[in-house]
Each structure stands twice: as structure tokens, then as C-alpha cells.
A and B are shown apart, each in its own frame.
Chain A
């Protein structure tokens, strides 16, 4: 009985990690991303020579912060569950709010089988630029990032083999047309603890270059490199991280992540 239960649980978990294939255009930057960015609570002063990072609190405190997980999750929900129709007549704010909430109610872990039509705009970028306050209000607060189900995994180490398998899983997910959301960290160091949405990859003999939507930067995608020989990921230098090796695992993925 126990064996049967375990088998069912494993089968459930494995099946849940494989999203249903639904044909859709590849995720595009900037069209499928938000026009606004998640702001960091801290300002990071990075010494380019030593890569030492000093933190100081942003003043005044940002109004829209600690939402990297919320934004990565929502970007994938819009990609999966929304269809923009620029030719259709626009709605009033209440109408759009209802549609946004409907999109955000969709399952973030698998492709939607039906899509919510959002009239008057050609993509998420233009829609979120025109209705920034409405969209920000509809997105959940920082609690959703704190309570991300897969957070349990971050306290356990990531072996090189796990990272190699994770790189393969990310490629497989992209090949299925399902952009994975990844948790990027250096735990137990807290120099980075971030979620990004991977939407493309370039393979070379020496590495895999993953292109990702960084909710902290609305201006351009970020690069996460996987070194095939050392089986490590490296995150690009940004305004909040000096660049360097990180651990990566996919979240909003299956039953336990």
C-alpha cells in the first residue's frame, strides 16, 4: 500500500512537471514582458575591481518592490493565458481589471487551454505601460515570492550533476515552448535570491547561454550562462549583482516546486 502510494505520488509529480503542449508563438522580449520593473529595496554599490557589494536602503522606499517572483509568474501567465487583440475596441478600467484578474487566476504551472482576450492592445508591454497602476494593483504582494512553494529546495545543496540536469531540463522546457521560471541563488550567501523567466537559449560547444526576462530590468533581457565543463551557472553582472556563479533551479514547476 505504501509502495502504491509512493508510486502514485511520484507519477503525479512527474506528470505535473510536464506541461501540456499548446502551440503558441515563442516568448518575445520586450513584447511579452511588463513595461515597468520591480524595484529593489536596496541600492547596491558594486566595486568593479573587487566585486565587493555594499548595500544601502533606497530612499524614499520603493512603492513596487520585492515582486520578482510575482512578476515572473504573471509574465508567464499572460504569455500562456492571454491573447491581445489590438484591433478590438478598448474597454474601461473595470473591464481590464476583470480580465487581468482572470489571467492571474490561471494555473501558473502549466499552459492554459483557453485564453483571455484582451482588446485594444497588441501585447503585454503596451498594455502594462498604459495601465501600470491597475496591473501593479492586481499583482499580488511580496508574500507570493516569500511563499513560493519551491523555496524549500534552496536550503539544500546543488551538486554539479543536478545543475547539469537542470540545464537539460531548461532546454527541454524551451523546446516544448514553455518558458521556465528559475530561482537564482547563492544560498547560504544572500548576495542574490531572485526569480527570472528563461525564454531562449543559444548553445555553443563550451556553454549554453540562456536568455531571461529579469523583472528587475524592463529595458533588456539578462544572460545566464551554463558552463558545460564545470557544470555551473553564472549570472551576468547587473545593478544589483556583481556577476558570477549561481545555483539555478526551476520553480512553478510540478507539484513540489
Chain B
């Protein structure tokens, strides 16, 4: 009896200490979010627009962790479509950050700056997070939202810890779930 009381007490204390689903919080802590903050280079390689940019890496709560040089390409055909794919499913091919320049160089142009440049050029509207490619043949293509380049990933160090986190959850979550109905019944 004393032994089971001690075990129940330990489980309650653990449940309070791990602040909920430990596995979930572990994966949250390991989540990394990358967002483009500056474009360095752009070129048209065959039928794709290649972008090299600097990404800000932040944790799940937005705390900056550093910068990375990234590159990605998008199909020009996607920018010529009348129904441009939504930003969350816009097809982006990730490339190595040190992808060498090849093909036709595209001038980076700050939208609204008034400077005149010859096509092809990429109009970058930083405030709206929008890029518009102007080429010599088709003029302005459909806007491309820089948010499509953002990505989230989970830091590799989290995965070896997941089995331990699952064990902790197996011990503590029943305690939390046991008290949840009481919160619901007593709560407003």
C-alpha cells in the first residue's frame, strides 16, 4: 500500500514537473523555423528561377538562433499559371546553399525605388514579402510570396530523446488525464 502510494505520488509530481506532454514539448523545443530575410542573388537556369538568400533561423518561440545561406528554385511555369498554387503548397525545390550561379542573371530590384532596370529583374517588395519576376518576353509574372521559402524542421538532437520522453509520458499523462475531467466539470 505504502509502495503504491509512493508510486502514485511520484507520478503526480512528475506530471506537475514535466508540464504536460513531455514528448510534445521536447519536439516543440527542437522545432526550427527558417524564414528568408535578404535575397543575395537570382538567376534563371533553364526553365527555373533560382534564388539565393539568407534565412533567419529561430526556435518555436521566435528566438533567433542564427543565419543560414540557402538556395531554392521554382519553376517559371508555376509563375505563368493563371491559378498560382497557394503559398503553403507552392512547389519549391531546395538546393545547397552554395549553389553556383549559372544561366541568366536576374537583377534584384527594390519595389518602389524608382530605379529603372532592364529585364530580367526581380521586383522585391519587402513589406509585403512579395517578389515579381519581370522577363523580356512575358513582362511581369505572377507574384511569388517569400513565405513559400520558409520551412520548419526538427533539430536532430531531439530524436534520440524521444524514447525517454515517451516513457515519462506513459507514467505522467494518465495522471493529467485523470484530473482533466475535474477541471472541465468545475471550470466555467
Contact of B20 among A156, A206, A230, A245 (CB under 8 A): A156
Distance of A231 Cα from B19 Cα, bound (Å)? 23
B1-58 interface (Cβ within 8 A of A): 19-21, 24-25, 27-28, 33, 35
Decide: A228 near B88, CB < 8 A? Known: A156-B20, A160-B152. Answer: yes
The yes or no answer to A256 lying at the interface (CB within 8 A) is yes
Q: Give the dominant DSSP class at B's interface.
A: mixed
The answer to whether A157 and B150 touch across the interface, beta carbons within 8 angstroms, is no
Distance of A187 Cα from B21 Cα, bound (Å)? 12
Distance of A123 Cα from B152 Cα, bound (Å)? 45
The answer to whether B24 and A157 touch across the interface, beta carbons within 8 angstroms, is yes
The answer to whether B61 and A150 touch across the interface, beta carbons within 8 angstroms, is no
* Residues of A contacting B152 in the complex (Cβ-Cβ under 8 angstroms): 160, 230-231
The yes or no answer to A32 lying at the interface (CB within 8 A) is no
Decide: A155 near B87, CB < 8 A? Known: A149-B184, A244-B61. Answer: no
Interface string of A199-233 (1 = CB under 8 A from B): 00000011100000000000000000001111110
Decide: A152 near B147, CB < 8 A? Known: A160-B152, A229-B88, A245-B60. Answer: no
The yes or no answer to A114 lying at the interface (CB within 8 A) is no
Distance of A187 Cα from B187 Cα, bound (Å)? 19
With both chains docked as a complex, state the minimum distance between the C-beta of A58 and any C-beta of chain B, in angstroms. Answer: 25
The yes or no answer to B115 lying at the interface (CB within 8 A) is no
Q: Of all chain A residues, which has the CB nearest B183?
A: A152
Decide: A156 near B147, CB < 8 A? Known: A149-B184, A228-B86, A229-B87. Answer: no
| Apart from A144-B188, A156-B20, A234-B62, 18 more pairs, CB < 8 Å | A147-B187, A152-B183, A152-B184, A156-B21, A157-B25, A157-B27, A188-B25, A205-B87, A206-B129, A206-B145, A206-B147, A227-B147, A227-B150, A229-B150, A230-B33, A230-B152, A244-B61, A244-B62
> What residues make up the interface of A, taking CB atoms closer than 8 Å to B?
73, 108, 144, 147-152, 154-157, 159-160, 186-189, 205-207, 227-232, 234, 244-245, 255-256
> What residues make up the interface of B, taking CB atoms closer than 8 Å to A?
19-21, 24-25, 27-28, 33, 35, 60-62, 84, 86-88, 129-130, 143, 145-148, 150-152, 176, 180, 183-184, 186-188
